[in-house]
Structure 1
Amino acid sequence: MRIRLLLLATVLVASAAAQPVLEKAAPPPAGPLAELSLADAAVLGAVEGITEYLPVSSTGHLIIAARALRVDSNLPLRRANGEVHWFVPPTAKHPDGVPLTLKLAADTYVVVIQFGAIAAVGMLYWRQLVAMLLGLLGRDPAGLRLLRNVLLAFLPAAIVGFLVHDWIDTHLFSLEAVIAAQVAGAGLILWAERYRRRRVATTARHPEFPTDLSMGAAFRIGLLQCVSLWPGTSRSMMTIIGGYLAGLDPRRSAEFSFLLGFVTLSAATVYKSLKTGEAMIMIFGWPHVLFGCVVAAITAALAVKFLVGWLSRHGMAIFAYYRLALAAGLGILAAVGWL
Structure 2
Amino acid sequence: MDFIQSIILAIIEGLTEYLPISSTAHMIFASSYYGIQEDDFVKLFQVSIQFGAILAVVALYWKKFFDFSRLGFYVKLACAVVPALVLGYIFDDMIDAALGDPIPIAIVLILGGIVLLFIDNFFKNPEIVKEEDITIQKAVTIGFWQCLAMMPGTSRAAASIIGGMQQKLTRETAAEFSFFLAVPTMAAVTVYSVFVKTYHQTGLKGYELLTQNSENLKMFLVGNVIAFIVAIIAIKGFIGIIKKYGFQPWGWYRIIAGAALLAYFTIYK
TM-score by length of 1: 0.73
Of stretches 270-279 and 153-162 in structure 1, the one that deviates more from structure 2 is 270-279
Distance 2:107 2:72 in 1: 37
Unaligned runs of 5+ in 2: 198-204
1:167 aligned partner: 94
Distance 1:174 1:289 in 2: 26
Of stretches 296-305 and 209-218 in structure 1, the one that deviates more from structure 2 is 209-218
2:266 aligned partner: 335
Distance 1:110 1:293 in 2: 10
What is the CA deviation profile of residues 278-309 of structure 1, one whole-angstrom value per residue up to 9, with x for unaligned ones? 23543752111111111111110100010111
Unaligned runs of 5+ in 1: 1-35, 74-102, 135-139, 201-205
1:181 aligned partner: 108
2:84 aligned partner: 157
Match of 1:272 among 193, 203, 208: 193
Distance 1:174 1:261 in 2: 25
Match of 1:123 among 48, 59, 64: 59
Distance 1:267 1:188 in 2: 29
2:49 aligned partner: 113
Distance 2:98 2:50 in 1: 22
> 1:11-30 residue pairs with structure 2 within 5 A?
none
Is 2:120 the counterpart of 1:193? yes
Letter in structure 1 aligned against 2:33: A
1:282 partner SS? coil
2:173 aligned partner: 252
1:238 aligned partner: 159
Change (3 A) 1:327 1:162: same
Q: Give the drift of 1:233.
A: 0.7
Q: Give the drift of 1:49.
A: 0.3
Aligned length: 259
Letter in structure 1 aligned against 2:18: Y
Letter in structure 1 aligned against 2:240: G
Is 2:245 the counterpart of 1:319? no
Distance 2:237 2:79 in 1: 27
Which aligned runs of 4 or more in structure 1 are off by greater than 6 angstroms? Answer: none
Does the Cα contact within 8 Å between 2:114 and 2:255 map onto a contact in 1?
no
| Percent identical | 31
Distance 1:215 1:123 in 2: 24
Pick the structure with more helix per residue.
2
Does the Cα contact within 8 Å between 1:152 and 1:218 map onto a contact in 2?
yes
Distance 1:158 1:269 in 2: 12
Does the Cα contact within 8 Å between 2:98 and 2:151 map onto a contact in 1?
no
Letter in structure 2 aligned against 1:42: I
Distance 1:63 1:279 in 2: 21
Distance 1:170 1:269 in 2: 19
What is the CA deviation profile of residues 241-267 of structure 1, one whole-angstrom value per residue up to 9, with x for unaligned ones? 111111111211111111100110100
> 1:57-96 residue pairs with structure 2 within 5 A?
57-73=22-38
Q: Give the drift of 1:192.
A: 2.0
Does the Cα contact within 8 Å between 1:104 and 1:280 map onto a contact in 2?
no
1:199 partner SS? coil
Does the Cα contact within 8 Å between 1:173 and 1:231 map onto a contact in 2?
no
